A and B are shown apart, each in its own frame.
Chain A
Amino acid sequence: MRIVMKFGGTSVRGDGFRRIHEIVSRHLPENQVVVVVSAIKGVTDELIDAAHRARRGDEREISEFLDRLVDSYMELVEVSLGREHLNEAFGIASKLKRDLERVLFGIMYLGELTPRSLDYVAGYGETFSAKVGAFILSKLGLEAVGLTGKEAGIVTDDTFGDARILLNATRYSARRAIEPLLEAGKVPVVGGFTGATQEGVMTTLGRGGSDYTATALGAALDADQVWLWSDVDGIMTADPRIVPNARTVPELSYREAAELAVVGAKALHPRALEPVWDAGIPVYVRNTFNPNGPYTVIHGKEEVNEKVVKAVSLIREAGIITVYGPSMVGAPGTAAKVLEVVGSTGTNIMMIAQSASESNISIAVRRTSLDKVYSALERELVSRGVLRSVEVEDDVSIVAVVGAGMKGTPGVSAKIFSAVAERGINVIMVAQGGSEMNISFAVKAEDADEAVRAVHDAFRLGEA
């Protein structure tokens, strides 16, 4: 069997590579394993921060930062292997450090940080993890080879910061890069989150991009399975900090998992399922710290069983903007104008609802975007008389209820809303997509946790 295993930022820190070694070697040599690693948790943010500070011209801080970065990876080596291999590892880390240093100084001298150079810097944590990680795994007895995303053949478009993987091009180049290693019994250790354009310019895939790297490699290499190792027991029915009796969802379809990824199940990159969907490669979400514990399988089978609702997710820090205007009634194109103005601010719309009376439209967005959306609507549409008024409600949370079984099952929304109403919670706005896989509703932020618990209890998600 050929398996791609991705280890997240909490799975690589500390003595993480010892655990990775244990997990991977348990599956060798009967299987071929490709390892994908993230940066140590927190490092990507520090790299981005360092790039911004370099632009502001603080030379001393660059050197200090680079030393800290090398130290944090040396710590991994020491914890996993003891002191005896530190010198050798330091050689590897120093070389990477020198490359990064050159780029940071370049940014400093130019006083300019382009999306392109930011990506180069931001992806370096994964490069460190891959190269140093492969070193540790080799000393522990695996024939590991460290590769950057670029070296592994991940080809992307040039949307820096949120690049999309070109799957056909990646299939072509990743096979050439990785298959010979697998055939020779080696374990490729690939830095996640990064790739390169066709011209070889480094790009990054957006937050959680290592999942996306893993599934893309899975599809490119015709893997049998993709395993995403993180620090939670798979995908949960709800956030266990809110709902103490939340459980691991044993199975999800690609569609359900994709819905959940978008509405905030932190275990998954929203685009991560695209590559494996058509090929039908199952994705396992597992916990490095509890490798024999419960896990989630995401696959193509859409089982509509007794569990109509699979999970409840919460998006905090949202706001609602409602636009009113008598002229909207029966005036085609007003909705389009509103959306165009919202879109022009670069804001992502999370929910949208319009009553049949057409007298108002409500839009839910992230709270951080509220101000710019509000002012754009006032400036562009209220001032010109297209709208009468715009009202803002901040301090809102969105509860998303997901499950393929909701489709065609009558009474699901009745059950949701009566459960919420019984706890005295007022629902501000409701939206359901035509897929009927997801009902989302907005409540006051202070009611959010209780609303999640209400739905979780009503559908008995805490029970096996």
Chain B
Amino acid sequence: MRIVLAGYGNVGRSLHRMLEERRRELLRRYSMDAIVVAVIDRGGAAVHWKGVPYSEAAAAKDSEGTVAAGVHGRRGVTVLDLLDEVEADVYVDTTLPNFTDGQPSLSYMERAISRRMHVVTSNKAPMALAMPALLEVAEQKGVRLLYSGTVGGGTPFLGMASEALRGNRIRAIRGVLNGTTNYVLHRMETEGVSLEEALREARRLGYAEADPRIDLSGLDSAAKLVILANHAMGSNYTLSDVRYSGLEGVTPGDLREAAKRGKALRLLADSRRLRVGLEEVDSRSPLNVPANLNSVEFEVEELGSIYLIGRGAGGPETAAAIMRDLVQLNAAQPRR
């Protein structure tokens, strides 16, 4: 399995390292021979048909800010150039989300699909904006589009719905899908600090994204809700179908007051009304998770509620989700 890896931030390089370190294990356990034939970031690409060494790409990135600075590097090459030129089986997209139009990642994915490459992505923006269209085009071209890393970091919320619960009827999904805002709410509630103070802490710990507005406004949760609902229940929503609000105006007082009544305020995404907003849950509810955890309730016919809780973000975590997708692809593929 020849892989083109786009994006060399935390997720991209964690994945690259993991694939290289676990090469023998992947071969033995899954008969999966994964070779990263190209890595690419904003500065250019590193390409080698036998596999770009992790040490080379990581060192180049650290010293000169781009993977293109290494021996196999090519400065100025774009993802589109690379997809046209390199022979590969899978395109892995770990680029950063752009919720305005999903670009440039959206056109990268389209190009990969039309070149009949499978696509694995952790970039939720193109999925939230155009998931039905992308899946339709992929199906028509006979390739797979997998996106475990777009929701819940490494916690398998999507796999829970489509694999563990396969054959059951999921009636609704509700939960905390954004770790940053949950951390902020948790700190405000337990320590009484202000929203700004809690956000500064989150940043210091590396939980918050560069632009915290995407988290705080509920947009990030809304995008994940679209993906999770479509995946679990076969709907065809896009981001514009979701009504969302975030932490605007919430104070430590509100949280404490709720706590007195045995309640907790959480930023909840709800598939039933297709909305994201602050809601009260019972303090003892599994949806009331501490720190930067995510928690999702699957309401399943005959089973009642099932909860899955885990860390919702992080480089190695998201890379682990991509790893699952790659192994799944490998299992479905005829041996070459």
Binding site for B on A (CB under 8 A): 155, 157, 166-169, 171-173, 198-199
Across-interface contacts of A172 in B (CB, < 8 A): 130, 132-133, 238
Chain B residue with the shortest CB-CB distance to A170: B133
Q: List 8 A-B pairs, Cβ < 8 Å.
A: A166-B136, A167-B136, A168-B136, A168-B236, A169-B136, A169-B137, A172-B132, A198-B140
Residue of B130, B135, B140 with most partner-chain A CB within 10 A: B140
Assess A168 versus B140: contact at CB under 8 Å? Given A198-B110, A199-B114.
Answer: no
What per-residue 1/0 map shows which CB atoms of B86-113 lie under 8 Å from chain A?
0000000000000000000000001001
Q: How far is the CB of B312 from chain A (nearest CB, A)?
A: 27
CB contacts (< 8 Å) of A169 on chain B: these are 133, 136-137
- B113 touching A198, Cβ below 8 Å: yes
Interface residues of B in 98-154 (CB under 8 A from A): 110, 113-114, 130, 132-133, 135-137, 140-141
Residues on A with beta carbons closer than 8 Å to the beta carbon of B133? 155, 166, 168-169, 171-173
Bound-state CA distance A172–B135 (Å) is 12
Cα distance A103–B4 when bound, in Å? 36
Give the docked Cα–Cα distance between A167 and B139 (Å).
13
Residue contact A171 to B114, C-beta cutoff 8 Å: no
Known: A167-B136, A172-B132, A198-B110. 7 other contacts (CB 8 A): A166-B133, A166-B136, A166-B137, A168-B136, A171-B133, A173-B133, A198-B137
Report the bound CA distance from A166 to B136 in whole Å. Answer: 7
| A contacts with B: majority SS | helix
Q: Interface range on chain B: under 10, 10 to 19, 20 to 34, or 35 or more?
A: 10 to 19
Q: How far is the CA of A464 from the CA of B238 in the complex (A)?
A: 46
- Chain B 20-77 interface residues, beta-carbon cutoff 8 Å to A: none
Q: Which residue of A166, A167, A172 has the most chain B CB atoms within 10 A of its CB atom? A: A172
Residue of A nearest to B139 (CB): A166
- Tell me the nearest residue of chain B to A167, going by C-beta: B136
- 10 closest A-B pairs by beta carbon, nearest first, are A168-B132, A172-B133, A168-B136, A169-B133, A168-B133, A172-B130, A166-B136, A199-B114, A157-B140, A198-B137
Interchain CA distance A155-B136 in the complex, whole Å: 11
Chain B residue numbers with a CB within 8 Å of A168 are 132-133, 135-136, 236
* Chain B neighbourhood of A171, CB < 8 A: 132-133
Which A residues touch B113, using CB under 8 A?
198
With the chains together, A199 CA to B236 CA distance in Å? 23
**B137 contact set on A, CB distance < 8 A:** 155, 166, 169, 198
Residues on A with beta carbons closer than 8 Å to the beta carbon of B130: 172
CB proximity of B132 to chain A, nearest CB, Å: 4
Nearest neighbor of B135 in chain A, beta-carbon distance: A168
Whole-angstrom CA separation of A120 from B113 in the bound complex: 23
- Chain A residues, Cβ within 8 Å of B132: 168, 171-172
* Docked pose: A172 CA to B136 CA in angstroms: 11
Query: In the bound complex, how far is the Cα of B136 from the Cα of A157, in angstroms?
Result: 10
Q: Which residues does chain B contribute within 8 Å of A157, judged by CB atoms?
A: 140
Cα-based distance from A172 to B102 in the complex (angstroms): 12
Also in contact, A198 and B114, with CB within 8 A (given A166-B140, A168-B236, A172-B130) = yes
Instruction: Chain B residues near A166: list those with CB within 8 A.
Output: 133, 136-137, 140
From residue B127, how far is it (CB to closest CB) to chain A in Å? 12
Q: Nearest chain-A residue to B102 (Cβ)?
A: A172
Cα of A173 to Cα of B238 in the assembled complex, Å? 13
A172 CA / B133 CA spacing, docked (Å): 6
Bound-state Cα–Cα, A35 to B141, Å: 31
Q: How far is the CB of A416 from chain B (nearest CB, A)?
A: 41
B231 to chain A, nearest CB (A): 15
Please give the distance in Å from A202's CB to the nearest CB on chain B: 15
Contact with A along B146-176 (1 / 0, CB 8 A): 0000000000000000000000000000000
Least distance between A328 CB and chain B CB atoms (Å): 38
* Complex CA distance for A155 and B138, rounded to whole angstroms: 13
Q: Report how far A198 CA is from B238 CA in the complex, Å.
A: 20
